[in-house]
Structure 1
Amino acid sequence: MAAPQSNITRRRLAARAEGSDEYQTKLRELVNVAADVFKEKGYEAATLAEIAERFGSVRASLYYYVSGKEELFQEAVRDILARNLADAERIHGLDLQVREKLDMLISQLIASYEDHYPHMSVYVQENMLRVTGERTVWATQMVRDTRRLEKVWIRLLQQGMDERVLRSDIPAVLMANILFGMCNWTHRWFKPGPKLSASQIADAISKIFFEGAVSQVPPAPVT
């Protein structure tokens, strides 16, 4: 038998069902505040009390919007991976050369860090540590989408090797992990601003990566 719902839980569910613009705006503001705190403190060290203080409220009032800290984390990163996966699969399907597609994937991923800052940084910083040991529907979906995203990159890198555009003495999985590492580590130091743009970072990563990854063997003939 399910436990009875608290009054605040009933109010939260009713407000979400109604979906008023005011409620959704305040929820987004709360999630943005939480993302900032998660970025600064890390998920484990962050507290609802601190999030509430920055939100200009008290801890108890947060339960009108979310069930707790874990839901705030989930809301902060929920849609980012799904959008990145959709973009990666779209790019993979384009009628372009492998190098062009990989350049676009790098640019799209770094642009996502800029467009969704600090939410994307929270995702990279905390997400896989938080979800790999969980068995919730949300965690399972996050892990599944992450694996699908990785496979898009691996397939393109393997295609580049098969076409002798990329060197083949390094396994595609290892090369993908190295490239992901170059992109994902930017969460430690990249903060959007006037001094450095996502496009500049993406261009630098592409140049450094492909200078080492390019094949020294003549490309395979086009058939």
Structure 2
Amino acid sequence: MVKKSDISQRRAVALAEGGVGYAAKRNELIRVAATLFKDHGYRATTLNDIAQAAGMDRATVYYYVGSKEELLREAVQNLMGQNVSEVEKLVRADVSPQEKLESIIRLLILSYDKNYPHAYVYIQQKMQRVADATSSWAKEMAKQTHRIEIAVESIIREGMKSGVFRDDVPVKLTAYAIFGAVNWTHRWYVPGGRNSPEEIVDAFSKIMLQGLVSRKETRFKAKAGAKKPARMGSAALTA
């Protein structure tokens, strides 16, 4: 029987060497684990479940990862970093607040679809608090989540200050409403299902942004877009 410490040493060597075959198998194991976490929950899923679904024994799983939490970390940490970077770029973009918020909604929904089910695993574990909140990884993930929240709140304030967004609703509640709708898709979205990511983006943007646009802005656009009455020709006048 191979000792766990021996497997750990072999895993460390394999990770350091970075072999293509090893990396592919490890990524597949992470994908399998993420699917099980999504379908059954992180707490309810065991390493034995993951090993069985991946077609290997538990000892072999340790050759690729050291723990179930490592599988969770690997499934979500790179994705979060990418989303934070893109959201913060949008804050600095030279476009209107409406365009910024719609772009963020699009970014998150398309990211959830492209990285299914990995992204939803993080959302679920965050809601259920399955990871040790005192761990360095959990603290880093909390910081990244907070950076996205700060970015969205800053865009909402920008819109309110410029008069584009209504200012009779609290900024944080507005941000919570947006995140609540976008993140709740983890309960019902499945790639290839009834609604495409683009349809979800379109519907969410209409519901959220039209409710957020100030009445003054709505009246201005309605007035600017109103068509002048068409002139009636002589034939119409004599008909």
Give the fraction of aligned pairs with identical amino acids, expressed as a percent.
42
1:204 equivalent in structure 2: 203
Deviates more, 1:176-185 or 1:205-214: 205-214
1:79 equivalent in structure 2: 78
Residue type of the partner of 2:130? R
Mapped to 2, the partners of 1:121 and 1:33 lie a distance apart of 14
Residue type of the partner of 2:208? F
Cα 1:218–1:202 change in 2 (3 A) is closer
2:155 equivalent in structure 1: 156
Cα 1:19–1:60 change in 2 (3 A) is same
1:1-223 equivalences under 5 Å are 6-127=5-126, 129-131=129-131, 133-193=132-192, 195-218=194-217
C-alpha displacement of 1:130? 3.2
Mapped to 1, the partners of 2:27 and 2:154 lie a distance apart of 36
User: Which portions of structure 1, spanning 4 or more consecutive aligned residues, are displaced by more than 4 angstroms?
Assistant: none
Mapped to 1, the partners of 2:18 and 2:130 lie a distance apart of 29
The structure number with the bigger radius of gyration is 2
C-alpha displacement of 1:194? 5.8
Mapped to 2, the partners of 1:72 and 1:110 lie a distance apart of 23
Partner SS, residue 78 of structure 1: helix
Mapped to 2, the partners of 1:134 and 1:181 lie a distance apart of 21
Mapped to 2, the partners of 1:210 and 1:10 lie a distance apart of 53
Gaps of 5+ in 1: none
What CA deviation, in whole Å up to 9, does each residue of 1:189-218 have, x standing for no partner? 011116422111011001011222111135
2:235 equivalent in structure 1: none
Partner SS, residue 144 of structure 1: helix
Bigger fraction of residues in helix: 2
Residue type of the partner of 1:76? A
C-alpha displacement of 1:134? 2.1
**Retained in 1: the 8 A contact 2:43–2:130?**
no
Gaps of 5+ in 2: 219-239
What CA deviation, in whole Å up to 9, does each residue of 1:145-199 have, x standing for no partner? 1111100000001111111111111111110001100100011101111642211
Deviates more, 1:195-204 or 1:9-18: 195-204
Mapped to 2, the partners of 1:218 and 1:53 lie a distance apart of 58
Residue type of the partner of 2:62? Y
Mapped to 1, the partners of 2:44 and 2:150 lie a distance apart of 33
Partner SS, residue 130 of structure 1: coil
What CA deviation, in whole Å up to 9, does each residue of 1:63-98 have, x standing for no partner? 001111111111111111111101101111111011
What CA deviation, in whole Å up to 9, does each residue of 1:43-72 have, x standing for no partner? 000011111001000111100011111111
RMSD of equivalent CA atoms? 1.4
Cα 1:18–1:158 change in 2 (3 A) is same
Residue type of the partner of 1:160? G
Partner SS, residue 64 of structure 1: helix
**How many residues were matched structurally?**
214
Partner SS, residue 43 of structure 1: coil
Residue type of the partner of 2:180? G
Partner SS, residue 170 of structure 1: coil
TM-score, structure 1 length as denominator?
Answer: 0.92
